[in-house]
């Protein structure tokens, strides 16, 4: 659990630095992006190693059939991650699409994982996303972006979502957590 908590703390600190201490982030200058990126990669490695090595301590039993809800929420989550990049019809309508994607990702995983390490990892990432949205909202009013690509952006995002979801499912199966098999439910 130590590695998991350290990774989660590093993830939060690296992401929130710009919001909590803009002066510190500004002092890092352009090279600060590389430093932050390196810290984020390290945080992911620590979280993965910590989660995989954590003792399984059950906290609650996930509801039967929750795997189907998880998969649906994950499709929505992955789609939201792509909204800003593909600039479809939702782009000017949803503030913080990636952070909302992280919240939905968190909820989806908490539906099917009732152990302590999952509560720390998925609950922690969800909490980080909510705190990030609150800090960004507090910093100023949202200036809605221009419409972007419209339906073409949505089509690009949908295609990318399906491909990425397929890759995510393959990685989960490779790690021993099959997304579409009965043992997952």
Which whole-number Å values give the CA distances from 4 to 43, 51, 52, in the listed order?
Answer: 9, 6, 9
Residue with tokens 């929130």, as numbered in its chain: 16
What global pTM score does this model have?
0.90
Tokens of 52: 């995989």
How far apart CA 84 and CA 75 sit, in angstroms, is 16
For 130-162, the pLDDT digits (tens) are 999 999 999 999 988 887 788 999 999 999 999
Q: How buried is residue 131: exposed, middle or buried, by Cβ count under 10 Å (0-12/13-18/19+)?
A: middle
Compute the mean pLDDT over every residue in the chain, rounded to the nearest whole number: 92
108-125 tens-digit pLDDT: 999 999 999 999 999 999
Locate the domains of the chain by residue range: 1-54, 58-184
């Amino acid at each position: 659990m130590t590695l998991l908590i350290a990774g989660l703390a590093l993830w939060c600190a690296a992401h929130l630095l710009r919001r909590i201490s803009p002066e510190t982030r500004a002092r890092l200058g352009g090279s600060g992006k590389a430093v932050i990126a390196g810290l984020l990669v390290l945080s992911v490695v620590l979280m993965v190693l910590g989660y995989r090595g954590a003792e399984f301590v059950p906290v609650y039993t996930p509801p039967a059939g929750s795997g189907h809800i998880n998969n649906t929420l994950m499709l929505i989550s992955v789609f939201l991650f792509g909204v800003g990049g593909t600039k479809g019809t939702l782009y000017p309508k949803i503030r913080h699409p990636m952070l909302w994607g992280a919240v939905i990702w968190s909820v989806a995983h908490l539906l099917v994982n009732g152990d302590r390490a999952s509560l720390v990892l998925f609950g922690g990432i969800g909490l980080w996303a909510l705190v990030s949205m609150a800090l960004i909202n507090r910093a100023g009013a949202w200036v809605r972006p221009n419409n972007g690509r419209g339906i073409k952006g949505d089509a690009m995002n949908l295609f990318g979502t399906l491909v990425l979801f397929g890759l995510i499912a393959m990685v989960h199966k490779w790690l021993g957590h099959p997304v579409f098999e009965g043992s997952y439910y």
